[in-house]
Copies of this chain bind each other. A is one copy, B any other.
């Protein structure tokens, strides 16, 4: 690998001039620039990032911290889609991304790697299942960072989120519009932001139409197929006309319980979900759900972080991305 010094020698100019050419400094005579660039190309010269970082205190490296196990969940492509968004935005903006999958086994060591890592200019952190000590270390590190998912008890952070509440409200309103009244919901963990806010959206919709809220139609679960299955079994005796799973995986589990109980979807009961994972289009019948722009969240997170790095004053960025109601066959249409 040639160095600046060598390029300088080969092109009969100083290191300073080569540096200016490399960095597109306008104060270089164009003939000089061409002469240098010729050598640069011919030698396939690439500046050494470590040296540049040291000199400028500017690395263009962003860290990405995601809990391990996320997206490994059956059928849930959150992780790959989100990472795709982040990676594409970084490539586009000439940033580099360094990745950690937060794993409790390695928590301490990882925190050290992240926080002590002099190379990072900022951090994108998935807030779900993020251990609190880890978040605290990150806050203490004084690195700019943005959270994915609104943290429930720390409103002062910068985050990008999806319209959980509003998306849920919309899909329930749609069910009401179809004529359903007795609408059950299998919520996610109410300690998690999506669990909490999707339930709030459900309540919002019922209240807006003055439909009484029946606590026996609300059961809390994990965002898994298995939990959806068991929760639905508990719900069946109450004979709901429709059930809203707070995630597609929950809804898929619910459908399995209904199938086993001999109930038909959507004839006997409507089922809807949230997330719009690819599997949702392939259930029997295909699942009506709420689409969330996962890849876009990654892109926005990068943009927000870069802004934060470049303008350290601008805190409290909150971007909440809209969802989209995806109507398929699992909710039937009681209108016709």
List the interface of chain A (C-beta within 8 A of B): 1, 46-51, 53-54, 59, 61, 64, 68-75, 77, 79-81, 83-84, 87-88, 91-92, 94, 96-101, 103, 105-106, 109-110, 112-113, 115-119, 225, 278-279, 282
Contacts and interface: CB of A to CB of B under 8 A. Distances in A.
The 3 closest A-B pairs by CB, nearest first: A46-B116, A74-B278, A50-B53
Contact of A92 (B53, B99, B106): B106
A99 B113 contact: no
B113 A96 contact: yes
Nearest to A112: B46
A113 B88 contact: no
B119 A49 contact: yes
A101 B83 CA distance: 8
B116 A47 contact: yes
A88 B107 CA distance: 11
A114 to B, nearest CB: 9
Given A75-B279, A88-B101, A99-B99, 12 more contacts: A1-B118, A51-B118, A54-B54, A64-B99, A72-B80, A74-B278, A75-B278, A79-B80, A91-B110, A91-B113, A92-B109, A225-B282
Quickly give the copy total for this chain.
Answer: 2
A96 B84 contact: no
A74 B118 contact: no
Contacts of A112: 46
A166 to B, nearest CB: 26
Given A72-B81, A75-B279, A101 B87 contact: yes
B68 A88 contact: yes
A61 to B, nearest CB: 8
Nearest to A77: B72
Given A50-B50, A80-B80, A282-B225, A96 B71 contact: no
A109 B99 CA distance: 20
A31 to B, nearest CB: 26
A59 B68 contact: no
B87 A113 contact: no
Contacts of A48: 54, 118
Contact of A83 (B74, B99, B225): B99
Given A50-B59, A80-B79, A96-B98, A91 B72 contact: no
28 contacts: A47-B116, A48-B54, A49-B118, A50-B59, A50-B119, A51-B118, A54-B54, A64-B99, A70-B80, A72-B84, A72-B278, A74-B278, A74-B279, A75-B75, A79-B79, A83-B99, A87-B99, A87-B103, A88-B101, A91-B100, A91-B106, A91-B109, A91-B113, A92-B109, A94-B113, A96-B117, A97-B98, A98-B99
